[in-house]
Amino acid sequence: MYKHQYSASVNDGEFNFEDVQNGSLDMIPAGPGNVHIIHNNVSYQAQILDTDFESKTFRFKINGSFFTVQLADQFDQLVDRLGLHTQAALLVKDIKAPMPGMVLEVNVSPGQEVEKDTPLLILEAMKMENVIKAPGDGVVKKIHIQKGNPVEKNQLMIEME
């Protein structure tokens, strides 16, 4: 039988484990966001507080204690071993115009720190307002456009660092 290898960072600890074998873990839903777990004849009440499937990070409250769990499957572990960290891919470098249009509003300024999905500017194209958001975390280095300026497709609008 093929088993997947997983690792989990739980709070400050690192754990490696194989798929839980049949019969060693029983989970029963106990209402929205709540699960009753029995493992090795020990009962646990678990509440799911927060989930981020993109980063595979989850926050739980289990029997009154809080845990932050980050999972890594065999592919995540391979990327880590090869030094190809996925977080580097989230670093924003340049924000370019996705289409020709007119800059209606600039919501950031040089030196400003932004998080993923922060609205950077509003671009009007084909009579529609398009909110251009940060694809990842970063700091605004330089703004190359101004309110009221036209832009061409792929024109550099904001430099990030």
Final residue in a domain of this structure, among 44, 69, 87: 87
Give pLDDT tens digits along the chain (161 positions): 445 566 667 776 766 555 454 556 788 888 888 889 887 788 889 898 888 776 788 888 999 989 888 888 777 777 777 766 555 555 567 899 988 999 999 999 999 999 888 999 999 987 788 889 888 888 999 999 999 999 999 999 999 88
Whole-structure pTM over 0.75, yes or no?
no
- Same domain? 55 vs 101: no
| CATH code for the domain of 147 | 2.40.50.100
- Same domain? 79 vs 48: yes
- Same domain? 56 vs 122: no
State the CB neighbour count (10 A cutoff) for residue 97.
21
Q: Which domain holds residue 73?
A: 5-87
- Looking at this protein, which amino acid is placed at residue 80? D
The count of domains in the chain is 2
- Same domain? 141 vs 106: yes
Tokens of 38: 């029995």
Rounded CA-CA distance 104/85 in Å is 36
